[in-house]
Amino acid sequence: MSHPHPEYGPPPALRADGLRIIPLGGVGEIGRNMTVFEHAGRLLIVDCGVLFPEDFQPGVDLILPDFTAIRDRLNDIDALILTHAHEDHIGAVPYLLRERRDIPIIGTRLTLALLTAKLAEHRIKAVTQEIREEERHNYGPFECEFFAVNHSIPDAVAVAIRTDAGLVLHTGDFKMDQLPLDGRLTDLGGFARLGREGVDLLLSDSTNAEVPGFVTSEREIAPVLDGVFRDATRRIIVACFSSHVHRVQQVLEAAEAHGRSVCFVGRSMLRNMGVARDLGLLRVPPGLVVDLRDLDSLPDRNICLVSTGSQGEPLSALSRMANRDHQIRIETGDTVVLASSLIPGNENAVFRVINGLTRHGARVVHKGVAKVHTSGHAPAGELLYVLNATRPSNVMPVHGEWRHLRAHAKLAEATGVPADHVVLAEDGMVIDLLDGRARITGVVPCGYVYVDGAAVGDVGEPSLKDRRILGEEGFITITVVVDAAAGKVVVGPDMSARGFTDSRSTFDPVAKLVADALADAMRTGMNDTAALQQLVRRTVGRWVNENYRRRPMILPVVLEV
Protein backbone atom coordinates (compact mmCIF):
# COMPACT_ATOMS: atom_id res chain seq x y z
CA MET A 1 0.00 0.00 0.00
CA SER A 2 1.56 3.31 -1.05
CA HIS A 3 0.64 6.53 0.63
CA PRO A 4 -0.72 8.87 -2.04
CA HIS A 5 0.81 12.36 -2.07
CA PRO A 6 -0.39 13.86 -5.36
CA GLU A 7 0.98 17.29 -4.41
CA TYR A 8 4.55 15.98 -4.44
CA GLY A 9 6.62 14.30 -7.10
CA PRO A 10 10.04 12.65 -6.96
CA PRO A 11 12.54 14.75 -4.99
CA PRO A 12 15.17 16.82 -6.84
CA ALA A 13 18.86 15.93 -6.68
CA LEU A 14 20.20 16.74 -3.22
CA ARG A 15 22.53 19.71 -3.06
CA ALA A 16 26.09 18.91 -1.97
CA ASP A 17 25.65 21.01 1.17
CA GLY A 18 22.26 19.52 2.09
CA LEU A 19 21.00 16.77 4.39
CA ARG A 20 18.08 14.61 3.28
CA ILE A 21 15.81 12.76 5.71
CA ILE A 22 13.50 10.00 4.44
CA PRO A 23 11.22 8.26 6.96
CA LEU A 24 10.39 4.81 5.61
CA GLY A 25 8.24 3.95 8.65
CA GLY A 26 7.14 5.23 12.04
CA VAL A 27 5.74 8.59 10.92
CA GLY A 28 1.95 8.60 10.80
CA GLU A 29 1.92 5.17 12.50
CA ILE A 30 3.29 3.49 15.61
CA GLY A 31 5.74 0.82 14.51
CA ARG A 32 7.96 0.05 11.52
CA ASN A 33 10.42 2.77 12.57
CA MET A 34 13.11 3.46 9.99
CA THR A 35 14.69 6.77 8.98
CA VAL A 36 17.29 7.25 6.24
CA PHE A 37 19.71 10.19 6.32
CA GLU A 38 21.60 11.18 3.16
CA HIS A 39 24.59 13.52 2.94
CA ALA A 40 27.55 13.82 0.54
CA GLY A 41 26.36 10.78 -1.41
CA ARG A 42 26.30 8.49 1.63
CA LEU A 43 23.46 7.04 3.74
CA LEU A 44 22.95 6.53 7.47
CA ILE A 45 19.93 4.61 8.79
CA VAL A 46 18.40 4.97 12.24
CA ASP A 47 16.34 1.93 13.33
CA CYS A 48 14.75 -0.76 11.19
CA GLY A 49 11.62 -2.15 12.83
CA VAL A 50 8.40 -3.97 12.08
CA LEU A 51 4.71 -3.16 12.38
CA PHE A 52 2.33 -5.82 13.65
CA PRO A 53 -0.78 -6.55 11.57
CA GLU A 54 -4.33 -5.60 12.47
CA ASP A 55 -7.58 -7.51 11.99
CA PHE A 56 -8.03 -6.21 8.44
CA GLN A 57 -4.71 -7.78 7.37
CA PRO A 58 -5.56 -11.49 7.72
CA GLY A 59 -2.76 -14.03 7.49
CA VAL A 60 0.01 -11.41 7.73
CA ASP A 61 2.74 -12.08 10.31
CA LEU A 62 4.74 -8.85 10.09
CA ILE A 63 4.82 -5.62 8.10
CA LEU A 64 8.24 -4.33 7.00
CA PRO A 65 9.48 -0.94 5.83
CA ASP A 66 9.69 -0.63 2.05
CA PHE A 67 13.38 -0.78 1.04
CA THR A 68 12.62 0.23 -2.57
CA ALA A 69 13.98 3.76 -2.16
CA ILE A 70 17.41 2.50 -1.04
CA ARG A 71 17.60 -0.88 -2.77
CA ASP A 72 19.91 0.36 -5.53
CA ARG A 73 22.03 2.24 -2.97
CA LEU A 74 22.72 -0.45 -0.40
CA ASN A 75 26.48 -0.04 -0.86
CA ASP A 76 26.18 3.64 0.09
CA ILE A 77 25.01 2.76 3.62
CA ASP A 78 27.74 3.58 6.15
CA ALA A 79 25.89 2.31 9.25
CA LEU A 80 22.58 1.26 10.75
CA ILE A 81 22.11 2.77 14.22
CA LEU A 82 19.64 1.09 16.58
CA THR A 83 18.29 3.31 19.35
CA HIS A 84 16.99 0.35 21.40
CA ALA A 85 15.86 -3.27 21.08
CA HIS A 86 12.09 -3.13 20.77
CA GLU A 87 10.67 -5.05 17.81
CA ASP A 88 9.31 -1.90 16.19
CA HIS A 89 12.93 -0.70 15.98
CA ILE A 90 14.96 -3.87 15.27
CA GLY A 91 12.48 -6.43 13.92
CA ALA A 92 13.15 -5.75 10.23
CA VAL A 93 16.97 -5.87 10.51
CA PRO A 94 17.15 -9.54 9.37
CA TYR A 95 15.25 -8.65 6.20
CA LEU A 96 17.52 -5.69 5.43
CA LEU A 97 20.62 -7.84 6.01
CA ARG A 98 19.30 -10.36 3.48
CA GLU A 99 19.88 -7.62 0.90
CA ARG A 100 23.34 -6.65 2.18
CA ARG A 101 24.91 -8.80 4.89
CA ASP A 102 27.80 -6.51 5.92
CA ILE A 103 25.94 -3.32 6.84
CA PRO A 104 27.63 -2.18 10.10
CA ILE A 105 25.08 -2.27 12.91
CA ILE A 106 25.60 0.15 15.79
CA GLY A 107 23.98 -0.24 19.20
CA THR A 108 24.39 -0.55 22.94
CA ARG A 109 25.23 -3.79 24.69
CA LEU A 110 21.69 -5.05 25.37
CA THR A 111 20.41 -3.88 21.99
CA LEU A 112 23.09 -5.81 20.13
CA ALA A 113 22.73 -8.87 22.38
CA LEU A 114 18.97 -9.12 21.72
CA LEU A 115 19.50 -8.45 18.02
CA THR A 116 22.21 -11.13 17.80
CA ALA A 117 19.85 -13.67 19.39
CA LYS A 118 17.17 -12.72 16.86
CA LEU A 119 19.57 -12.94 13.92
CA ALA A 120 20.70 -16.39 15.06
CA GLU A 121 17.14 -17.61 14.41
CA HIS A 122 17.51 -16.31 10.84
CA ARG A 123 21.01 -17.84 10.58
CA ILE A 124 22.57 -14.44 10.01
CA LYS A 125 25.80 -13.19 11.58
CA ALA A 126 26.03 -9.41 11.54
CA VAL A 127 28.87 -6.89 11.60
CA THR A 128 28.27 -4.99 14.84
CA GLN A 129 29.84 -2.19 16.86
CA GLU A 130 28.94 -1.67 20.51
CA ILE A 131 28.63 1.93 21.66
CA ARG A 132 27.83 3.65 24.95
CA GLU A 133 26.25 6.96 25.84
CA GLU A 134 28.56 9.99 25.76
CA GLU A 135 30.62 8.48 22.93
CA ARG A 136 31.20 9.99 19.49
CA HIS A 137 31.87 7.98 16.34
CA ASN A 138 32.18 8.84 12.67
CA TYR A 139 30.36 6.86 9.98
CA GLY A 140 31.32 8.29 6.61
CA PRO A 141 30.34 11.99 6.59
CA PHE A 142 28.12 11.54 9.67
CA GLU A 143 29.53 12.27 13.14
CA CYS A 144 27.24 10.62 15.69
CA GLU A 145 27.06 11.34 19.42
CA PHE A 146 25.01 9.12 21.70
CA PHE A 147 22.95 10.13 24.74
CA ALA A 148 21.36 7.99 27.44
CA VAL A 149 17.56 8.04 27.44
CA ASN A 150 15.17 6.36 29.81
CA HIS A 151 12.64 4.01 28.20
CA SER A 152 10.76 0.78 28.95
CA ILE A 153 13.84 -1.23 28.00
CA PRO A 154 17.39 -0.72 29.31
CA ASP A 155 20.24 0.70 27.25
CA ALA A 156 18.19 3.01 25.00
CA VAL A 157 19.95 5.97 23.38
CA ALA A 158 19.26 9.12 21.43
CA VAL A 159 21.64 10.09 18.64
CA ALA A 160 22.89 13.48 17.51
CA ILE A 161 23.97 13.49 13.87
CA ARG A 162 26.44 16.21 12.81
CA THR A 163 27.06 16.95 9.14
CA ASP A 164 28.21 19.95 7.14
CA ALA A 165 24.50 20.63 6.55
CA GLY A 166 23.65 20.96 10.24
CA LEU A 167 23.01 19.16 13.53
CA VAL A 168 20.07 16.77 13.88
CA LEU A 169 18.94 15.21 17.17
CA HIS A 170 16.91 11.98 16.93
CA THR A 171 15.56 11.19 20.42
CA GLY A 172 14.47 7.62 19.70
CA ASP A 173 11.80 6.45 22.17
CA PHE A 174 12.22 8.08 25.56
CA LYS A 175 10.67 9.32 28.77
CA MET A 176 12.10 11.24 31.72
CA ASP A 177 11.45 9.07 34.77
CA GLN A 178 13.24 10.89 37.59
CA LEU A 179 13.57 7.71 39.68
CA PRO A 180 14.33 4.97 37.12
CA LEU A 181 14.92 1.50 38.49
CA ASP A 182 18.39 1.30 36.92
CA GLY A 183 19.34 4.89 37.83
CA ARG A 184 19.90 5.75 34.16
CA LEU A 185 18.35 9.16 33.53
CA THR A 186 17.53 10.76 30.20
CA ASP A 187 20.47 13.07 29.53
CA LEU A 188 18.58 16.36 29.51
CA GLY A 189 21.86 18.17 30.29
CA GLY A 190 23.38 16.71 27.13
CA PHE A 191 20.33 17.81 25.17
CA ALA A 192 20.74 21.33 26.59
CA ARG A 193 24.41 21.37 25.51
CA LEU A 194 23.27 20.52 21.99
CA GLY A 195 20.76 23.35 22.26
CA ARG A 196 23.57 25.80 23.00
CA GLU A 197 25.51 24.42 20.03
CA GLY A 198 22.45 24.84 17.81
CA VAL A 199 20.04 22.04 16.87
CA ASP A 200 18.97 22.53 13.27
CA LEU A 201 16.36 19.74 13.32
CA LEU A 202 14.78 17.81 16.18
CA LEU A 203 13.14 14.45 15.47
CA SER A 204 11.29 13.57 18.66
CA ASP A 205 9.03 10.77 19.99
CA SER A 206 5.36 11.81 19.73
CA THR A 207 3.55 8.76 21.16
CA ASN A 208 2.23 10.50 24.29
CA ALA A 209 2.06 14.07 22.97
CA GLU A 210 -1.68 14.15 23.74
CA VAL A 211 -1.14 13.10 27.37
CA PRO A 212 -0.65 16.03 29.75
CA GLY A 213 1.85 16.18 32.58
CA PHE A 214 4.70 13.85 33.42
CA VAL A 215 5.26 10.12 33.40
CA THR A 216 4.49 7.96 36.43
CA SER A 217 7.72 6.59 37.87
CA GLU A 218 8.44 2.89 37.53
CA ARG A 219 8.95 2.83 41.30
CA GLU A 220 5.23 3.47 41.85
CA ILE A 221 4.40 0.15 40.17
CA ALA A 222 6.14 -2.04 42.76
CA PRO A 223 3.69 -1.39 45.67
CA VAL A 224 0.72 -2.14 43.38
CA LEU A 225 2.28 -5.41 42.23
CA ASP A 226 3.03 -6.27 45.84
CA GLY A 227 -0.66 -5.80 46.68
CA VAL A 228 -1.70 -8.06 43.80
CA PHE A 229 0.68 -10.78 45.02
CA ARG A 230 -0.53 -10.38 48.59
CA ASP A 231 -4.20 -10.78 47.67
CA ALA A 232 -3.85 -13.64 45.16
CA THR A 233 -4.80 -17.10 46.48
CA ARG A 234 -3.92 -19.17 43.40
CA ARG A 235 -1.57 -18.80 40.45
CA ILE A 236 -0.45 -15.40 39.21
CA ILE A 237 0.20 -14.86 35.50
CA VAL A 238 1.91 -11.60 34.54
CA ALA A 239 1.86 -10.70 30.85
CA CYS A 240 4.23 -8.03 29.58
CA PHE A 241 6.52 -7.25 26.68
CA SER A 242 9.30 -9.80 26.41
CA SER A 243 11.83 -6.96 26.43
CA HIS A 244 10.55 -5.13 29.51
CA VAL A 245 13.44 -6.06 31.81
CA HIS A 246 12.46 -3.53 34.50
CA ARG A 247 8.92 -4.86 34.81
CA VAL A 248 10.11 -8.45 34.96
CA GLN A 249 12.61 -7.44 37.66
CA GLN A 250 9.77 -6.03 39.75
CA VAL A 251 7.78 -9.24 39.28
CA LEU A 252 10.76 -11.34 40.37
CA GLU A 253 11.17 -9.25 43.51
CA ALA A 254 7.45 -9.46 44.35
CA ALA A 255 7.44 -13.22 43.76
CA GLU A 256 10.46 -13.73 46.01
CA ALA A 257 8.88 -11.61 48.77
CA HIS A 258 5.70 -13.71 48.66
CA GLY A 259 7.28 -17.13 48.36
CA ARG A 260 6.39 -17.83 44.74
CA SER A 261 8.52 -19.56 42.13
CA VAL A 262 8.70 -17.90 38.72
CA CYS A 263 8.40 -19.60 35.33
CA PHE A 264 8.98 -17.77 32.03
CA VAL A 265 6.48 -18.71 29.31
CA GLY A 266 6.93 -17.90 25.64
CA ARG A 267 9.96 -18.28 23.39
CA SER A 268 10.83 -14.58 23.17
CA MET A 269 10.42 -14.15 26.95
CA LEU A 270 12.78 -17.03 27.66
CA ARG A 271 15.30 -15.75 25.12
CA ASN A 272 15.29 -12.10 26.15
CA MET A 273 15.35 -12.68 29.89
CA GLY A 274 18.21 -15.13 29.43
CA VAL A 275 20.17 -12.44 27.57
CA ALA A 276 19.34 -9.80 30.20
CA ARG A 277 20.43 -12.12 33.00
CA ASP A 278 23.70 -12.96 31.25
CA LEU A 279 24.46 -9.23 30.87
CA GLY A 280 23.73 -8.54 34.53
CA LEU A 281 20.71 -6.36 33.72
CA LEU A 282 18.25 -8.81 35.32
CA ARG A 283 18.97 -9.95 38.88
CA VAL A 284 17.56 -13.43 39.43
CA PRO A 285 17.78 -14.81 43.01
CA PRO A 286 19.11 -18.38 43.09
CA GLY A 287 16.40 -21.03 42.82
CA LEU A 288 13.63 -18.55 42.07
CA VAL A 289 13.11 -19.42 38.39
CA VAL A 290 11.82 -22.91 37.58
CA ASP A 291 11.11 -24.80 34.38
CA LEU A 292 7.59 -25.19 33.01
CA ARG A 293 7.86 -28.94 33.54
CA ASP A 294 8.31 -28.42 37.30
CA LEU A 295 5.02 -26.56 37.86
CA ASP A 296 2.96 -29.67 38.52
CA SER A 297 5.00 -30.31 41.68
CA LEU A 298 4.26 -26.85 43.12
CA PRO A 299 1.10 -25.66 44.91
CA ASP A 300 -0.88 -23.07 42.94
CA ARG A 301 -0.31 -20.45 45.65
CA ASN A 302 3.45 -20.70 45.06
CA ILE A 303 3.41 -20.19 41.28
CA CYS A 304 4.01 -17.02 39.24
CA LEU A 305 4.16 -17.20 35.44
CA VAL A 306 5.69 -14.41 33.35
CA SER A 307 4.25 -14.61 29.85
CA THR A 308 4.12 -12.92 26.49
CA GLY A 309 0.82 -11.77 25.00
CA SER A 310 -0.02 -8.48 26.67
CA GLN A 311 -1.16 -7.08 23.29
CA GLY A 312 -3.50 -9.96 22.49
CA GLU A 313 -1.23 -11.44 19.81
CA PRO A 314 -3.12 -14.48 18.45
CA LEU A 315 -0.24 -16.95 18.80
CA SER A 316 1.11 -15.66 22.12
CA ALA A 317 1.04 -17.78 25.25
CA LEU A 318 -1.61 -15.65 26.99
CA SER A 319 -3.99 -15.67 24.00
CA ARG A 320 -3.68 -19.43 23.78
CA MET A 321 -4.43 -19.71 27.51
CA ALA A 322 -7.55 -17.59 27.02
CA ASN A 323 -8.62 -19.91 24.19
CA ARG A 324 -7.87 -23.10 26.17
CA ASP A 325 -5.20 -23.93 23.57
CA HIS A 326 -2.21 -24.03 25.95
CA GLN A 327 -0.89 -26.55 28.42
CA ILE A 328 -1.48 -24.00 31.19
CA ARG A 329 -5.23 -24.09 31.85
CA ILE A 330 -6.81 -20.99 33.36
CA GLU A 331 -8.88 -21.90 36.41
CA THR A 332 -11.23 -20.05 38.74
CA GLY A 333 -9.23 -17.99 41.21
CA ASP A 334 -6.17 -17.42 38.99
CA THR A 335 -4.95 -13.80 38.76
CA VAL A 336 -3.76 -12.40 35.42
CA VAL A 337 -1.88 -9.09 35.33
CA LEU A 338 -1.57 -7.24 32.02
CA ALA A 339 1.50 -5.10 32.72
CA SER A 340 1.53 -3.04 29.54
CA SER A 341 -0.11 -0.16 27.73
CA LEU A 342 -2.44 -0.75 24.81
CA ILE A 343 -0.76 -0.17 21.47
CA PRO A 344 -3.26 1.69 19.24
CA GLY A 345 -5.03 -0.81 17.02
CA ASN A 346 -4.71 -3.69 19.49
CA GLU A 347 -7.67 -2.79 21.69
CA ASN A 348 -10.10 -5.37 20.31
CA ALA A 349 -7.55 -8.19 20.50
CA VAL A 350 -6.65 -7.35 24.10
CA PHE A 351 -10.25 -7.11 25.29
CA ARG A 352 -10.97 -10.41 23.55
CA VAL A 353 -8.21 -12.01 25.63
CA ILE A 354 -9.45 -10.33 28.83
CA ASN A 355 -12.96 -11.64 28.22
CA GLY A 356 -11.65 -15.13 27.50
CA LEU A 357 -9.61 -15.18 30.71
CA THR A 358 -12.50 -13.80 32.76
CA ARG A 359 -14.88 -16.37 31.29
CA HIS A 360 -12.65 -19.13 32.67
CA GLY A 361 -12.76 -17.58 36.14
CA ALA A 362 -9.58 -15.52 36.24
CA ARG A 363 -9.32 -12.13 37.91
CA VAL A 364 -7.73 -9.80 35.34
CA VAL A 365 -5.79 -6.77 36.56
CA HIS A 366 -4.82 -4.22 33.90
CA LYS A 367 -3.81 -0.59 33.61
CA GLY A 368 -7.43 0.51 33.44
CA VAL A 369 -8.18 -0.74 36.96
CA ALA A 370 -4.81 -0.62 38.75
CA LYS A 371 -1.43 1.07 38.35
CA VAL A 372 0.36 -2.04 37.08
CA HIS A 373 2.13 -0.31 34.20
CA THR A 374 3.54 3.04 33.21
CA SER A 375 4.30 4.15 29.70
CA GLY A 376 7.78 4.23 28.21
CA HIS A 377 7.06 7.43 26.28
CA ALA A 378 7.28 11.06 27.35
CA PRO A 379 3.98 12.90 27.84
CA ALA A 380 3.47 16.54 26.91
CA GLY A 381 5.19 18.03 29.95
CA GLU A 382 8.39 16.14 29.24
CA LEU A 383 8.29 16.87 25.52
CA LEU A 384 8.15 20.56 26.41
CA TYR A 385 11.29 20.14 28.53
CA VAL A 386 13.15 18.66 25.56
CA LEU A 387 11.90 21.37 23.20
CA ASN A 388 12.99 24.10 25.61
CA ALA A 389 16.34 22.46 26.32
CA THR A 390 17.27 21.88 22.69
CA ARG A 391 15.72 25.07 21.22
CA PRO A 392 15.62 23.57 17.71
CA SER A 393 15.36 25.68 14.58
CA ASN A 394 13.13 23.04 12.99
CA VAL A 395 11.03 20.24 14.50
CA MET A 396 9.77 17.04 12.91
CA PRO A 397 7.48 14.97 15.16
CA VAL A 398 8.06 11.22 14.64
CA HIS A 399 6.93 7.91 16.15
CA GLY A 400 3.21 8.50 16.26
CA GLU A 401 -0.10 8.51 14.46
CA TRP A 402 -1.39 11.72 12.95
CA ARG A 403 -3.15 12.81 16.13
CA HIS A 404 0.13 12.43 18.05
CA LEU A 405 2.15 14.28 15.41
CA ARG A 406 -0.24 17.23 15.37
CA ALA A 407 -0.34 17.41 19.17
CA HIS A 408 3.47 17.44 19.23
CA ALA A 409 3.52 20.14 16.56
CA LYS A 410 1.34 22.37 18.76
CA LEU A 411 3.73 21.85 21.66
CA ALA A 412 6.64 22.91 19.46
CA GLU A 413 4.80 26.04 18.36
CA ALA A 414 3.98 26.85 21.99
CA THR A 415 7.70 26.92 22.79
CA GLY A 416 8.38 29.42 20.03
CA VAL A 417 9.15 27.27 17.00
CA PRO A 418 7.54 29.01 13.99
CA ALA A 419 4.68 27.01 12.49
CA ASP A 420 6.39 26.91 9.10
CA HIS A 421 9.47 25.37 10.76
CA VAL A 422 7.45 22.39 12.05
CA VAL A 423 7.50 19.59 9.48
CA LEU A 424 4.45 17.34 9.55
CA ALA A 425 5.40 14.47 7.29
CA GLU A 426 4.55 10.82 6.91
CA ASP A 427 6.23 7.72 5.58
CA GLY A 428 7.81 8.18 2.16
CA MET A 429 8.03 11.97 2.26
CA VAL A 430 11.46 13.46 1.60
CA ILE A 431 12.62 16.27 3.88
CA ASP A 432 15.68 18.33 2.93
CA LEU A 433 17.63 20.44 5.42
CA LEU A 434 19.09 23.30 3.40
CA ASP A 435 20.40 26.63 4.64
CA GLY A 436 18.97 25.97 8.10
CA ARG A 437 15.43 25.18 6.91
CA ALA A 438 13.74 21.79 6.76
CA ARG A 439 11.15 21.38 4.02
CA ILE A 440 9.29 18.55 2.30
CA THR A 441 10.69 18.32 -1.24
CA GLY A 442 9.17 15.16 -2.67
CA VAL A 443 8.14 11.57 -2.09
CA VAL A 444 9.61 8.12 -2.71
CA PRO A 445 7.83 4.74 -2.98
CA CYS A 446 6.85 3.66 0.52
CA GLY A 447 4.36 0.83 0.69
CA TYR A 448 3.68 -1.88 3.21
CA VAL A 449 5.76 -5.01 2.68
CA TYR A 450 3.94 -8.01 4.15
CA VAL A 451 5.59 -11.09 5.62
CA ASP A 452 3.37 -14.16 5.40
CA GLY A 453 5.18 -17.24 6.65
CA ALA A 454 8.41 -17.54 4.68
CA ALA A 455 7.16 -15.25 1.90
CA VAL A 456 8.22 -11.60 1.91
CA GLY A 457 6.40 -9.17 -0.34
CA ASP A 458 4.38 -11.84 -2.18
CA VAL A 459 1.14 -10.71 -0.54
CA GLY A 460 -0.21 -7.32 -1.54
CA GLU A 461 -3.39 -5.33 -1.10
CA PRO A 462 -5.33 -7.30 -3.79
CA SER A 463 -4.59 -10.57 -1.95
CA LEU A 464 -5.57 -9.06 1.40
CA LYS A 465 -8.81 -7.76 -0.14
CA ASP A 466 -9.58 -11.29 -1.37
CA ARG A 467 -8.80 -12.69 2.09
CA ARG A 468 -11.13 -10.18 3.74
CA ILE A 469 -13.94 -11.08 1.32
CA LEU A 470 -13.39 -14.79 1.91
CA GLY A 471 -13.35 -14.27 5.68
CA GLU A 472 -16.39 -12.03 5.81
CA GLU A 473 -18.60 -13.18 2.92
CA GLY A 474 -17.36 -16.64 1.87
CA PHE A 475 -17.23 -17.83 -1.74
CA ILE A 476 -19.41 -19.53 -4.35
CA THR A 477 -18.10 -21.77 -7.12
CA ILE A 478 -20.05 -22.47 -10.30
CA THR A 479 -18.90 -25.18 -12.69
CA VAL A 480 -20.63 -25.62 -16.04
CA VAL A 481 -19.85 -27.50 -19.26
CA VAL A 482 -21.10 -25.96 -22.53
CA ASP A 483 -21.24 -26.90 -26.19
CA ALA A 484 -20.69 -23.51 -27.77
CA ALA A 485 -21.25 -24.79 -31.31
CA ALA A 486 -24.66 -26.18 -30.39
CA GLY A 487 -25.36 -23.22 -28.13
CA LYS A 488 -26.40 -25.23 -25.10
CA VAL A 489 -25.35 -26.20 -21.58
CA VAL A 490 -24.23 -29.82 -21.46
CA VAL A 491 -23.53 -30.30 -17.73
CA GLY A 492 -24.48 -28.12 -14.79
CA PRO A 493 -24.44 -25.53 -13.55
CA ASP A 494 -23.06 -27.24 -10.43
CA MET A 495 -22.84 -24.78 -7.55
CA SER A 496 -21.24 -25.05 -4.13
CA ALA A 497 -20.22 -22.59 -1.43
CA ARG A 498 -18.03 -22.15 1.65
CA GLY A 499 -18.83 -19.57 4.29
CA PHE A 500 -22.00 -18.44 2.49
CA THR A 501 -24.67 -21.05 3.20
CA ASP A 502 -24.92 -24.59 4.51
CA SER A 503 -27.81 -25.54 2.21
CA ARG A 504 -27.13 -26.58 -1.40
CA SER A 505 -30.79 -26.04 -2.31
CA THR A 506 -30.23 -22.29 -1.80
CA PHE A 507 -28.80 -22.13 -5.31
CA ASP A 508 -31.62 -23.92 -7.13
CA PRO A 509 -33.24 -20.66 -8.34
CA VAL A 510 -30.02 -19.14 -9.67
CA ALA A 511 -28.84 -22.33 -11.41
CA LYS A 512 -31.65 -21.96 -13.96
CA LEU A 513 -30.82 -18.24 -14.40
CA VAL A 514 -27.20 -19.14 -15.18
CA ALA A 515 -28.18 -21.86 -17.66
CA ASP A 516 -30.62 -19.57 -19.47
CA ALA A 517 -28.12 -16.68 -19.61
CA LEU A 518 -25.44 -18.95 -21.09
CA ALA A 519 -27.81 -20.40 -23.68
CA ASP A 520 -28.99 -16.94 -24.77
CA ALA A 521 -25.38 -15.67 -25.03
CA MET A 522 -24.19 -18.63 -27.08
CA ARG A 523 -27.12 -18.27 -29.47
CA THR A 524 -25.99 -14.71 -30.20
CA GLY A 525 -22.45 -15.89 -31.02
CA MET A 526 -20.63 -15.57 -27.68
CA ASN A 527 -18.35 -18.62 -27.50
CA ASP A 528 -15.26 -17.32 -25.67
CA THR A 529 -14.99 -19.14 -22.33
CA ALA A 530 -13.52 -16.07 -20.57
CA ALA A 531 -16.53 -13.98 -21.64
CA LEU A 532 -18.92 -16.74 -20.60
CA GLN A 533 -17.26 -16.91 -17.16
CA GLN A 534 -17.76 -13.15 -16.73
CA LEU A 535 -21.43 -13.62 -17.66
CA VAL A 536 -21.81 -16.32 -15.00
CA ARG A 537 -20.11 -14.09 -12.42
CA ARG A 538 -22.41 -11.15 -13.19
CA THR A 539 -25.55 -13.30 -13.18
CA VAL A 540 -24.77 -14.93 -9.82
CA GLY A 541 -23.50 -11.69 -8.32
CA ARG A 542 -26.69 -9.82 -9.25
CA TRP A 543 -28.87 -12.61 -7.82
CA VAL A 544 -26.91 -12.74 -4.55
CA ASN A 545 -27.05 -8.97 -4.13
CA GLU A 546 -30.79 -8.75 -4.83
CA ASN A 547 -31.71 -11.62 -2.52
CA TYR A 548 -29.09 -11.51 0.25
CA ARG A 549 -27.42 -8.06 0.09
CA ARG A 550 -24.04 -9.80 0.30
CA ARG A 551 -20.86 -9.81 -1.79
CA PRO A 552 -19.14 -13.20 -1.65
CA MET A 553 -16.26 -14.11 -3.91
CA ILE A 554 -17.68 -15.76 -7.02
CA LEU A 555 -15.49 -18.29 -8.87
CA PRO A 556 -17.01 -19.41 -12.20
CA VAL A 557 -15.49 -22.25 -14.24
CA VAL A 558 -16.81 -22.72 -17.79
CA LEU A 559 -15.53 -25.76 -19.70
CA GLU A 560 -16.17 -26.35 -23.40
CA VAL A 561 -16.67 -29.79 -24.93
Residues at the annotated binding site?
A: 373-377
Q: What are residue 46's DSSP bridge partners? A: 35, 81
Within a 10 A sphere around the Cβ of 417, how many other Cβ atoms?
19
- Binding-site residue ranges for substrate: 373-377
Residues 6+ apart with CB under 8 A from 484: 522, 527, 560
What is the number of residues in the chain? Answer: 561
Is 170 within 8 Å of 203 (Cβ atoms)? yes
Q: What secondary structure letter does DSSP report for 295?
A: G
Q: How many CB atoms lie within 10 A of CB 193?
A: 15
Q: Report yes or no: 193 and 160 within 8 Å, Cβ to Cβ.
A: no
Question: Which of 42, 143, 54, 85 lies closest to 448, judged by CA?
Answer: 54
Contact (CB, 8 A) for 37 and 20: yes
Distance (Å, rounded) from C-alpha 1 to C-alpha 118? 27
Which residues have a Cβ under 8 Å from the Cβ of 51 and sit 6 or more positions away? 25, 29, 31, 32, 62, 63, 64, 88, 448
Question: What is the rounded CA–CA span in Å between residue 364 and residue 351?
Answer: 11
CA dihedral 337, 342, 345, 346 (to 10 degrees): -10
Question: Can you list the alpha helix ranges (DSSP code H) found in 296-342?
Answer: 317-322
Say if residues 560 and 482 touch (Cβ distance below 8 Å): yes
Beta strands across the sheet bearing 34-39: 128-130, 105-107, 77-81, 42-46, 34-39, 19-25, 429-434, 437-443
